[in-house]
Structure 1
Amino acid sequence: VKKSRFHLNLVGLGKTPMDSDLEWKLLLENTDMTAFNFGFVPTSMKVFLYEIGQLADANITRAHQFRSDLGRFIGVDDLGEMVKINAAHKSISQAAQERMISICDEEHNHLREVLMTNARDVSRWVKLFFLDS
């Protein structure tokens, strides 16, 4: 559940003003304060965020756009091909398989509710504060 509140890590990049009650509410609501330990240092440095799956996107158009965007960000004209990462062939241990759940099962309603609340908070914070920073 803690990992679903990944915007707490993004705050540490110092890109948002942290001067509104709404921003603090979206960060602190439903947060275990013992895990909320970051230093806030505002910065004007640019940040390029990507999801690791973008490195091996099979969609040629999106892959080209990603390479182009990343290259422009770091000031390189041609990045060449990305290293292909294929997690589909990675085997899952028996112990890990036994810990897996189906989040849609009724017994996990409370967990699903918590995760959806976190997702809404993260989405609002990213849209309202992070994207324009």
Structure 2
Amino acid sequence: YNYRAVVLANHGQYEFPSPNSLMESTMFKGVSGDRANFALPLSKLGKTKLGPGELKLLANMTVVKRIDERKNAVIDYLEMIKSNRPNLGRVFLYDVEQLGDENVARATQFRNDLAAFLKLGNSLPPPGATNTNKDESPYKIDICSDIYTNLRSTLLQHGKEMSEWLLEYFIESDDVFVSDKDFVKNILRAYSEDPCQENLDMQG
């Protein structure tokens, strides 16, 4: 949300929907509470066994209100995928944190692993990027603010569910490759942690 708001403000657009209005499927420039959970799209790649426990976990990720009809539809859809698995080859999974990793040795290994995965002849150079999200702007929100407590709770629930599925099922697939598995696991575990907890502890 902050990235979109800063970019649009830099281009003269200054009216944005409240983040709290985006908790479910309502979208703002591709941003919504539902889209913050990317486990369901990844599950459609057919890289996991989609057993009963996994299907139940994925179905519970559908929408904030956890409507039974929607959950059953998700299970039916994933059952169909299980019976007709797409042949998409292996997947290289990474987190954006790895692109800006300040550990030189680990960052170099990441680029080497990615180059090898892509069957490139040479290693990749360090990525060059400008993070607009770091720009100061009155249109950015503080997710730790009390007015976003419900939104943060929703996103945290998404994070916990994604973390569980990614750790227990997705990255354990033989068809999914990660660079430095222990490091990636630590990143994924952090999805289930409240980024505002330290502030809350200090206030308490």
What is the match of residue 178 of structure 2?
Answer: none
- Per-residue deviation, 1:82: 3.7
Indicate conservation of the 8 Å contact 1:55/1:84, yes or no: no
Structure 2 unaligned spans of 5+: 1-32, 64-69, 174-204
How many pairs were matched up?
Answer: 126
Q: TM-score, normalised by structure 1?
A: 0.74
Query: How far, CA to CA, are the matches of 1:26 and 1:89 in structure 2?
Result: 32
Give the match's secondary structure for 2:125. coil
Is the Cα–Cα contact under 8 Å of residues 112 and 124 in structure 2 kept in the other structure? no
1:48-99 Cα offsets, whole Å, 9 max, x none, are: 022345445454222211111112212334224144112259867x6xx43x
1:124 to 160, 164, 181: 164
Partner of 1:108: 148
Partner residue of 1:28 out of 59, 65, 68 = 59
- Give 1:76's aligned residue: 120
SS at match of 1:131: helix
CA distance in 2, matches of 1:30, 1:52: 22
**Counterpart of 2:165 in 1: which secondary structure?**
helix
Partner of 1:13: 45
Give the 3 Å change call, closer, same or farther, for CA 112–69 of structure 1 in structure 2: same
Over aligned residues, Cα RMSD in angstroms? 2.9
Rate the CA distance shift 1:101–1:58 in 2: closer, same or farther, 3 A.
same
Are 2:47 and 2:170, in contact at CA under 8 Å, matched by a contact in 1?
A: yes
Select the structure with the greater relative contact order (CA < 8 A; seq sep ≥ 6). 1
With over 3 angstroms needed to count, the CA separation of the structure-2 counterparts of 1:7 and 1:78, relative to structure 1, is same
> For the residues of structure 2 that align with 1:80 and 1:121, how far apart are their CA atoms?
33
Identity over aligned pairs, percent:
31
Task: Report the AA paired with residue 39 of structure 2.
Answer: H
Unaligned runs of 5+ in 1: none
Q: Determine the C-alpha separation between the residues in 1 that align with 2:124 and 2:141.
A: 39
Residues of 1 paired with 2:124 and 2:148: CA distance? 44
Question: Contact 2:36–2:158 (CA<8 Å) still a contact in 1?
Answer: yes
